[in-house]
Amino acid sequence: MVQLHVKRGDESQFLFNATVDAPLETVIQEITGIYNGRLKVNRICSEIPELADHGIALPPNMQGLTQDQIMDLKLTDEWEDRCIPSGGPVLRKDEIGIRNGNAPNDKMKEVLMRTVEEAKALISKKQVQANVCVTMEMVKEALDQLRGAVMIVYPMGLPPHDPIRMEFENQEDLSGTQASLQVITQDECQLWWAAKEMQRGKKLQDYIGKNEKTKLVVKIQKKGQGEPAREPLVTDEQQKQMMLQLYRRQEELKKLEEADDDSHLDSEWSDRQALKRQFQGLTNIKWGPR
């Protein structure tokens, strides 16, 4: 299997396995699916702590309003009595006014937070260091874990406007958010290797040959963004080691230079003829007029 180290810019994303005869259309499609799937998992994982702390999301027309404004406008949340967390709610007011403040109890909160950590670890960038390839099945497993934890805490489900439920149902609206800039659709996705775009319609072997044990770094890029920055010739860790070796070598040369210093030969104590001149009375002789 060919191992592809997928990067976005200079940042590692995940490892992906493919065969040399795999069509690039399929490779790009699968890589894009994993890449966007990981983004979805991370978005849900960033939203669940808010659910655990402050309960379900308020209807869009009530978000950001004070209690007085809600009463003046005579607005009601029809989902408040339907979506009650298991074990009963605990009042934790949301100062931002996005969620209703009826949070799960500590036991249910722990279920949510523990599952978040497990899901994040499954698709983490640290899997690159562990030499573990991330697959679409692993992404789906992480999503299933998160969905299961939410169902345990909220057996009746979340309201349709809650961003977590919208993510699970692929109804999320990312327009105008920073998250929308990270998503890359399959149609606009490009795969680059060795300063070359890997063209759809070709196979992986058209670029790297038929060696199945090949490892290469590829970069995922949006169409129209041009060629991504090339990989540095040495990694940060290699550069640190080179600088450390250079420093040690300089210290060794400095010590050798000090060891070879013969300026001490001009000192009086190192003069082999000093004792002879002393016996002959030839010491402390001064030349000049008295």
* Cβ–Cβ under 8 Å, residues 184 and 228: no
Do 260 and 120 lie in one domain? The reply is: no
Phi and psi angles of residue 90, each rounded to the nearest 5 degrees, phi first? -120, 130
Let me know if residue 288 belongs to a domain.
no
pLDDT, averaged across the chain: 88
User: Of all residues in the chain, what percent are helix, strand and coil, respectively (each to 5)?
Assistant: 45, 15, 40
User: At residue 123, does pLDDT exceed 80?
Assistant: yes
Do 75 and 186 lie in one domain? The reply is: yes
Let me know if residue 110 belongs to a domain.
yes
Do 201 and 244 lie in one domain? The reply is: no
Beta-strand pair 189-193/215-222: antiparallel
Do 29 and 160 lie in one domain? The reply is: yes
Residues 6+ apart with CB under 8 A from 209: 20
Do 167 and 205 lie in one domain? The reply is: yes
Give the count of domains, the chain. Answer: 2
Task: Name the pTM for this structure.
Answer: 0.78
Give the per-residue pLDDT at 239: 79
Element (H, E) at 237: helix 236-259
Mean pLDDT of 271-284: 66
Give the per-residue pLDDT at 247: 86
Looking at this protein, which amino acid is placed at residue 107? Answer: K
State which residues form the domain around 105: 2-222
* Cβ–Cβ under 8 Å, residues 31 and 220: yes
User: Residue 8, Cβ neighbours under 10 Å: how many?
Assistant: 15
SS3 203: strand
- Residue 1 — very low, low, confident or very high, per pLDDT cuts 50/70/90? confident
Give the per-residue pLDDT at 252: 83
Element (H, E) at 39: helix 24-54
Give the per-residue pLDDT at 248: 86
Do 245 and 215 lie in one domain? The reply is: no
Do 110 and 55 lie in one domain? The reply is: yes
Give the per-residue pLDDT at 137: 96
- Residue 281 — very low, low, confident or very high, per pLDDT cuts 50/70/90? low
pLDDT tens profile 134-193: 999 999 999 999 999 999 999 999 999 999 999 999 999 898 888 899 999 999 999 999
Do 138 and 188 lie in one domain? The reply is: yes
